[in-house]
């Protein structure tokens, strides 16, 4: 690896977001002058103009990187509001914010009302984009690039479009990529005379010691599937058939398999051994996913770059990255693969793009949102840019640099959440994980529940 420069390359298997990823911490906090609603006609934009002003075109932009707790959000939002101010005489941009996964709910409501924002951040996959594509509501990547003077499809690796490709066309520009990895608080292991476990049996022995001393072994909960689905996939993809048998979920609708049952059995066993937080819902999703770890009350956790901002510096100083322990019947070593995807991307509506009164303004704004300037700035905030750009290692967050180096040169497989064929199957999968982690259902009930949702797909 070069000493000064890290090239962010998404591998051929790489596909976005955290789930859940990519939660932001702004809750309902709005950018100055922005709106969290979709009633654009009466909303005041960031320049102070009324949305009813027809002297310049109006563009509605919805996103969830809002608030100041996450460096990514603060950086992104400032660049956007600066653009709005600098172009206020040419375009009336209305900013609509919704924190984290709340953006998904907002877009669903707007879609049902026939009132989608002109440009919006969103997640890929058939379950998220399918109905919009089917109804011709989104501009495909090639059509947009044919009109843009600065954005070209070749600026992204082919693989980054996989989870936004429907009917042979791409309908979302990849913005944020992610890879997951396991981190361990070395200080806690040292305090109790333990070694970082490399096998499941060693993990269970560590758990006996940690549980006795009031320490949570694995800081992973599940709220809306976050981030329990990552641990489930970590176990599943080690097992025989875990990767191969689930690649075509959206086509064959066969969730139930020996591997999915076996992985669920391990999740339940770890739950019953007390490895997870006592309240898996309260400790699931968003920043709460790192709460116990950053308090030195948890020994290990599944981590993604955006979670570093939620972990105290003193704990990071004693943190090490290492593979998740190998399961007894592992067919694939945990050190031989990553889990990752494109977490979020940018969508443009056909109605806005084809409107002669606003088309030029839409293209100029989207070109800015997809510029190297934006991606470079995001790369400095522990965010993995999906676009092919070169980042100077000396300007990166140190843990971001470590994460890139640690996850390089391994095949990357997207979590099952991105393979769900419909919104209903994705919701059932997430809800089932919540129930299984919380102890409301067992492993067999979980697999049967998810399979039933697949059987009901029309």
Sketch the domain layout of the chain as residue ranges. Answer: 13-177+341-413, 180-338+415-455
DSSP assignment of 366-403 equals: HHHHTSHHHHHHHHTTT-EESS--EEEGGGS-HHHHHH
By CB atoms closer than 10 A (0-12, 13-18, 19+), residue 238 is: buried
Residue pointed to by tokens 């009466």: 42
- pLDDT tens digits, one per residue of 75-87: 999 999 999 999 9
Q: What is the pLDDT of residue 86?
A: 98
pLDDT above 50 (res 165): yes
- pLDDT tens digits, one per residue of 150-163: 999 999 988 889 88
Q: How many CB atoms lie within 10 A of CB 75?
A: 18
Token couple for 93:
């941009």
Please tell me the CATH superfamily of domain 180-338+415-455, with its number. Answer: Periplasmic binding protein-like II (3.40.190.10)
DSSP state letter for 239: B
pLDDT above 90 (res 26): no
Token couple for 114:
């026939």
DSSP state letter for 338: E
Q: What is the pLDDT of residue 54?
A: 59
* pLDDT classification of 404: cutoffs 50, 70, 90: confident
Peptide bond into 227 cis (omega under 30): yes
Topology alike, domains 13-177+341-413 and 180-338+415-455: yes
- pLDDT tens digits, one per residue of 415-436: 998 888 888 999 999 999 999 9
The architecture (CATH level 2) of 13-177+341-413 comes to 3-Layer(aba) Sandwich (3.40)
Q: What is the pLDDT of residue 247?
A: 86
Lowest-confidence segment of 100-109, 249-258, 349-358, 377-386 by average pLDDT: 377-386
């Amino acid at each position: 690896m070069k000493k000064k420069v890290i090239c962010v390359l998404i591998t051929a298997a790489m596909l976005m977001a955290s789930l859940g990823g990519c939660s932001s911490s702004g809750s309902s906090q709005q950018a100055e002058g922005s709106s969290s609603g979709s009633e654009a006609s009466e909303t005041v934009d960031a320049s102070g103009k009324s949305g009813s002003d027809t002297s310049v075109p109006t563009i509605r932009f919805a996103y969830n990187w809002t608030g100041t707790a996450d460096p990514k959000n603060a950086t992104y939002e400032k660049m956007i509001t600066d653009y709005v101010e600098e172009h206020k005489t040419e375009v009336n941009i209305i900013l609509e914010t919704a924190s984290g996964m709340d953006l998904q709910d907002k877009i669903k409501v707007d879609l049902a009302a026939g009132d989608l924002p002109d440009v919006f951040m969103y997640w890929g996959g058939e379950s998220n984009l399918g109905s919009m594509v089917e109804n011709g509501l989104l501009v495909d990547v090639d059509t947009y690039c044919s009109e843009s003077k600065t954005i070209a499809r070749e600026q992204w690796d082919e693989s980054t479009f996989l989870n936004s490709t429907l009917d042979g066309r791409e309908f979302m520009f990849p913005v944020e990529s992610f890879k997951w990895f396991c981190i361990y608080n070395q200080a806690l292991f040292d305090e109790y005379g333990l070694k970082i476990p490399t096998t499941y049996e060693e993990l269970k022995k560590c758990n006996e010691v940690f549980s006795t001393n009031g320490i949570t072994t694995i800081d992973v909960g599940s709220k809306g599937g976050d981030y329990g689905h990552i641990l489930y996939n970590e176990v599943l993809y080690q097992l025989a058939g875990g990767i191969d048998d689930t690649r075509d979920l959206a086509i064959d609708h066969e969730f139930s398999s020996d591997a999915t049952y076996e992985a669920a059995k391990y999740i339940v066993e770890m739950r019953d051994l007390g490895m997870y937080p006592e309240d898996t819902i309260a400790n699931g999703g968003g920043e709460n996913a790192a709460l116990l770890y950053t308090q030195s009350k948890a020994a290990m956790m599944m981590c993604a770059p955006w979670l570093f901002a939620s972990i105290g510096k003193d704990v990071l100083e004693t943190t090490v990255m290492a593979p998740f322990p190998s399961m007894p019947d592992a067919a694939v070593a945990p050190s031989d693969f990553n889990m990752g995807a494109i977490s979020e991307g940018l969508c443009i509506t056909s109605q806005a793009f084809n409107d002669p009164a606003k088309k030029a303004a839409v293209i100029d704004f989207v070109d800015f949102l997809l510029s190297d300037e934006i991606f470079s700035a995001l790369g400095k905030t522990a965010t993995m840019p999906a676009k092919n750009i070169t980042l100077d290692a000396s300007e990166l967050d140190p843990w971001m640099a470590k994460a890139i180096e640690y996850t390089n040169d391994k095949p990357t497989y997207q979590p099952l959440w991105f393979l769900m064929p419909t919104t209903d199957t994705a919701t059932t999968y997430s809800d089932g994980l919540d129930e299984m982690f919380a102890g409301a259902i067992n492993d067999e009930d979980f697999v049967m529940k998810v399979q039933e949702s697949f059987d009901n797909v029309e």
